[in-house]
A and B are shown apart, each in its own frame.
Chain A
Amino acid sequence: MSSSISLQQTVHCFLSNFQLSPKVPLPGWRIITGRPQRIRPLRASSSLAEAPPSSFPLFQQPPEPEDLTDSKLEPVDPDFYKIGYVRSVRAYGIEFKQGPDGIGVYASKDIEPTRRARVIMEIPLELMLTISQKTPWMFFPDIIPIGHPIFDIINSTNPETDWDLRLACLLLFAFDKEGNFWQMYGDFLPSAEECTSMLLATEEELLQLQDHNLASTMREQQQRALEFWERNWHSDVPLKIKRLAQEPERFMWAMSIAQSRCINMQMRIGALVQDGNMLIPYADMLNHSFQPNCFFHWRFKDRMLEVMTNAGQRIKKGEEMTINYMSKQKNDVFMQRYGLSSPVNPWDVIEFSGNARIHLDTYLSVMNISGLPDEYYHNKLARDGDSFVDGAVIAAARTLPVWCEGDVPPIPSKERKAVKELQEECQQMLMEFSTSSQQDHQILESIMVEEGGESRKRLETAIKYRLHRKLFIEKVIEALDVYQDRLLF
Chain B
Amino acid sequence: MASLSPTLLYQDRGLRITAAGDVLVAKKSPFHPFQISFAGSFAAPIWKSRIGLRKKSKTTLSYPCIKCENSENKENEENKENAEKKEPSIKHVTVERFPYYSYLDSTSGQLEPASGARASIPGQDYWPEGTASRVRAANAPEPSGVPSGSSSFGKKPGSRRKKYNSPASSDSSEVSVVTSDELELVDDGSEESKDVSSDYVVYETEQVKENLTEYELNKKLGLPHPFIDPKVKKPIEEALTSDELWWNWRKPDKEQWSRWQRRRPDSETVFLKAMAETGQIKLYGETPTLTETSLYRARRHIFKEERLQAEQERLERIGPLAFYSEWVKAWKRDTSREAVQKHFEETGEDENTQLIEMLSHQTDREYRIMMGTDIRIKRDPLAMRMREDQIKEIWGGDPVYPTINYIQDPDEVIDFRGPDFHEPTPNMLSYLKEHGKIISRDELDQILANEKTEELEVADMDEALAQAIDIGENDDEAGDSEAEEEEEEEKISRNWSVLKTTPQPNKSKPKKDDMSLEEAVVDSENLTDFLLDFDESDQ
Q: Is the pair A186, B145 in contact by a Cβ cutoff of 8 Å? A: no
In the complex, per-residue mask of B155-192: 1 if CB is within 8 Å of any chain A CB, else 0: 01111111011110000000000001011111110001
Q: Is B146 an interface residue (CB 8 A)?
A: yes
Q: Is B11 an interface residue (CB 8 A)?
A: no
Tell me which residues across on chain A come within 8 A of B147, comparing CB atoms.
77-79, 82
Query: Among the listed B145, B152, B157, B167, which residue makes an inter-chain contact with A78, where contact means beta carbons less than 8 Å apart?
Result: B145
Q: Is the pair B185, A93 in contact by a Cβ cutoff of 8 Å? A: yes
Task: Give the CA-CA distance A95 to B187 in the complex, in Å.
Answer: 11
Task: Give the CA-CA distance A88 to B144 in the complex, in Å.
Answer: 15
Q: Is A352 an interface residue (CB 8 A)?
A: no
Q: Is the pair A454, B157 in contact by a Cβ cutoff of 8 Å? A: no
Q: How many residues of B contact A (CB 8 A)?
A: 41
Selecting from B74-82, B134-142, B440-448, the interface stretch reads B134-142
* Most chain B beta carbons < 10 A, residue from A74, A102, A190: A74
Task: Give the CA-CA distance A243 to B183 in the complex, in Å.
Answer: 35
Q: Is B149 an interface residue (CB 8 A)?
A: yes
Q: Tell me whether chain B's interface is mostly helix, strand or loop, or mixed.
A: loop
CB distance from A339 to the nearest CB of B (A): 15
Q: Is the pair A187, B158 in contact by a Cβ cutoff of 8 Å? A: yes
Tell me which residues across on chain B come within 8 A of A190, comparing CB atoms.
158, 161
Q: Is the pair B200, A92 in contact by a Cβ cutoff of 8 Å? A: no
A422-459, CB < 8 A from B: 451-454, 456
Tell me which residues across on chain B come within 8 A of A174, comparing CB atoms.
154
Q: Is B508 an interface residue (CB 8 A)?
A: no
Known A-B contacts A187-B160, A191-B158, A454-B166; A94 and B200 likewise in contact (beta carbons under 8 Å) = no
Q: Is the pair A183, B162 in contact by a Cβ cutoff of 8 Å? A: no
B395-420, CB < 8 A from A: none
Task: Give the CA-CA distance A454 to B152 in the complex, in Å.
Answer: 21
Q: Is B481 an interface residue (CB 8 A)?
A: no
In the complex, per-residue mask of A194-214: 1 if CB is within 8 Å of any chain B CB, else 0: 100000000000000000000
Task: Give the CA-CA distance A395 to B128 in the complex, in Å.
Answer: 47
Tell me which residues across on chain B come within 8 A of A103, comparing CB atoms.
161
Tell me which residues across on chain B come within 8 A of A453, comparing CB atoms.
165
Task: Give the CA-CA distance A294 to B20 in the complex, in Å.
Answer: 70
Q: Is the pair B157, A253 in contact by a Cβ cutoff of 8 Å? A: yes
B220-259, CB < 8 A from A: none
* Most chain A beta carbons < 10 A, residue from B137, B147, B149, B158: B158
Measured CB to CB, the nearest residue on chain B to A189 is B157
Tell me which residues across on chain B come within 8 A of A70, comparing CB atoms.
198
Q: Is A307 an interface residue (CB 8 A)?
A: no
Task: Give the CA-CA distance A79 to B143 in the complex, in Å.
Answer: 8
Q: Is the pair B151, A184 in contact by a Cβ cutoff of 8 Å? A: yes
Q: Is B133 an interface residue (CB 8 A)?
A: yes
Tell me which residues across on chain A come within 8 A of B152, comparing CB atoms.
186-187
Q: Is B148 an interface residue (CB 8 A)?
A: yes
Tell me which residues across on chain A come within 8 A of B151, comparing CB atoms.
79, 83, 183-184, 187
Tell me which residues across on chain A come within 8 A of B161, comparing CB atoms.
76, 98, 102-103, 187-188, 190-191, 194
Tell me which residues across on chain B come within 8 A of A189, comparing CB atoms.
157-158
Q: Is A234 an interface residue (CB 8 A)?
A: no
CB distance from B260 to the nearest CB of A (A): 36
Task: Give the CA-CA distance A391 to B234 in the complex, in Å.
Answer: 73
Tell me which residues across on chain B come within 8 A of A85, comparing CB atoms.
140, 142-143
Q: Is the pair A75, B180 in contact by a Cβ cutoff of 8 Å? A: yes
Q: Is A383 an interface residue (CB 8 A)?
A: no
Task: Give the CA-CA distance A90 to B142 in the complex, in Å.
Answer: 9
Q: Is the pair A76, B183 in contact by a Cβ cutoff of 8 Å? A: yes
Q: Is the pair A301, B130 in contact by a Cβ cutoff of 8 Å? A: yes
Known A-B contacts A92-B136, A94-B185, A122-B137; A80 and B160 likewise in contact (beta carbons under 8 Å) = yes
Q: Is B153 an interface residue (CB 8 A)?
A: yes
Q: Is A108 an interface residue (CB 8 A)?
A: yes
Known A-B contacts A74-B162, A100-B164; A175 and B182 likewise in contact (beta carbons under 8 Å) = no
Q: Is A24 an interface residue (CB 8 A)?
A: no
Measured CB to CB, the nearest residue on chain B to A85 is B143
CB distance from A321 to the nearest CB of B (A): 11
Q: Is the pair B184, A175 in contact by a Cβ cutoff of 8 Å? A: no
Tell me which residues across on chain A come within 8 A of B153, comparing CB atoms.
183-184
Q: Is the pair B187, A92 in contact by a Cβ cutoff of 8 Å? A: yes
Q: Is A81 an interface residue (CB 8 A)?
A: yes
Q: Is the pair A75, B157 in contact by a Cβ cutoff of 8 Å? A: no
Task: Give the CA-CA distance A70 to B198 in the complex, in Å.
Answer: 10
Tell me which residues across on chain B come within 8 A of A79, comparing CB atoms.
147, 149, 151, 160
Q: Is A182 an interface residue (CB 8 A)?
A: yes
Tell me which residues across on chain A come within 8 A of B198, comparing CB atoms.
70
Task: Give the CA-CA distance A239 to B183 in the complex, in Å.
Answer: 40
CB distance from B203 to the nearest CB of A (A): 10
Q: Is the pair A90, B140 in contact by a Cβ cutoff of 8 Å? A: yes
Q: Is the pair A191, B186 in contact by a Cβ cutoff of 8 Å? A: no
Task: Give the CA-CA distance A92 to B189 in the complex, in Å.
Answer: 9
Q: Tell me whether chain A's interface is mostly helix, strand or loop, or mixed.
A: mixed
Q: Is the pair B184, A78 in contact by a Cβ cutoff of 8 Å? A: no
Tell me which residues across on chain B come within 8 A of A456, comparing CB atoms.
165
Tell me which residues across on chain B come within 8 A of A187, comparing CB atoms.
149, 151-152, 156-161
CB distance from B134 to the nearest CB of A (A): 9
Q: Is the pair A98, B162 in contact by a Cβ cutoff of 8 Å? A: yes
Tell me which residues across on chain B come within 8 A of A182, comparing CB atoms.
154
Q: Is A91 an interface residue (CB 8 A)?
A: yes
CB distance from A196 to the nearest CB of B (A): 13
Task: Give the CA-CA distance A443 to B128 in the complex, in Å.
Answer: 60
CB distance from B197 to the nearest CB of A (A): 12
Tell me which residues across on chain B come within 8 A of A452, comparing CB atoms.
165
Task: Give the CA-CA distance A192 to B159 in the complex, in Å.
Answer: 10
Q: Is the pair A109, B157 in contact by a Cβ cutoff of 8 Å? A: no
Tell me which residues across on chain B come within 8 A of A474, comparing CB atoms.
none
Task: Give the CA-CA distance A188 to B163 in the complex, in Å.
Answer: 11
CB distance from B392 to the nearest CB of A (A): 52
Q: Is the pair A92, B185 in contact by a Cβ cutoff of 8 Å? A: yes
Q: Is the pair A77, B160 in contact by a Cβ cutoff of 8 Å? A: yes
Q: Is the pair A74, B200 in contact by a Cβ cutoff of 8 Å? A: yes
Q: Is A126 an interface residue (CB 8 A)?
A: no
Query: Among the listed A88, A175, A301, which residue makes an inter-chain contact with B157, where contact means beta carbons less than 8 Å apart?
Result: A175
Task: Give the CA-CA distance A96 to B161 in the complex, in Å.
Answer: 12
B472-531, CB < 8 A from A: none
Tell me which residues across on chain A come within 8 A of B159, comparing CB atoms.
187, 191
Q: Is the pair A92, B186 in contact by a Cβ cutoff of 8 Å? A: yes
Q: Is A176 an interface residue (CB 8 A)?
A: yes
Task: Give the CA-CA distance A189 to B152 in the complex, in Å.
Answer: 12
Task: Give the CA-CA distance A174 to B154 in the complex, in Å.
Answer: 8
Known A-B contacts A77-B149, A82-B147, A454-B165; A90 and B137 likewise in contact (beta carbons under 8 Å) = yes
Task: Give the CA-CA distance A77 to B150 in the complex, in Å.
Answer: 10
Task: Give the CA-CA distance A94 to B166 in the complex, in Å.
Answer: 28
Task: Give the CA-CA distance A80 to B161 in the complex, in Å.
Answer: 10
Q: Is the pair A78, B185 in contact by a Cβ cutoff of 8 Å? A: no
Task: Give the CA-CA distance A102 to B198 in the complex, in Å.
Answer: 21
CB distance from B128 to the nearest CB of A (A): 12
Tell me which residues across on chain B come within 8 A of A83, comparing CB atoms.
151
Measured CB to CB, the nearest residue on chain A to B129 is A301
CB distance from B404 to the nearest CB of A (A): 47
Tell me which residues across on chain A come within 8 A of B187, comparing CB atoms.
92-93, 109
Task: Give the CA-CA distance A182 to B152 in the complex, in Å.
Answer: 11
Q: Is A393 an interface residue (CB 8 A)?
A: no
CB distance from B181 to the nearest CB of A (A): 11
The interface of chain B, by Cβ under 8 A from chain A, is 130, 133, 136-137, 140, 142-149, 151-154, 156-162, 164-167, 180, 182-188, 192, 196, 198, 200-201
Q: 6 additional contacts, CB 8 Å, given A74-B162, A77-B160, A82-B145? A: A85-B142, A92-B188, A94-B185, A188-B161, A451-B167, A454-B165
- Closest 6 pairs between A and B when the two form their complex, measured CB to CB: A191-B158, A78-B145, A175-B154, A79-B147, A187-B160, A92-B187
Chain A to chain B contacts (Cβ below 8 Å), 28 pairs: A70-B198, A74-B201, A77-B147, A77-B148, A77-B160, A77-B162, A78-B146, A79-B147, A81-B143, A81-B185, A82-B142, A82-B147, A83-B151, A90-B136, A91-B185, A92-B136, A93-B185, A96-B185, A98-B162, A122-B137, A175-B157, A183-B151, A183-B154, A187-B157, A187-B159, A189-B158, A190-B158, A253-B157
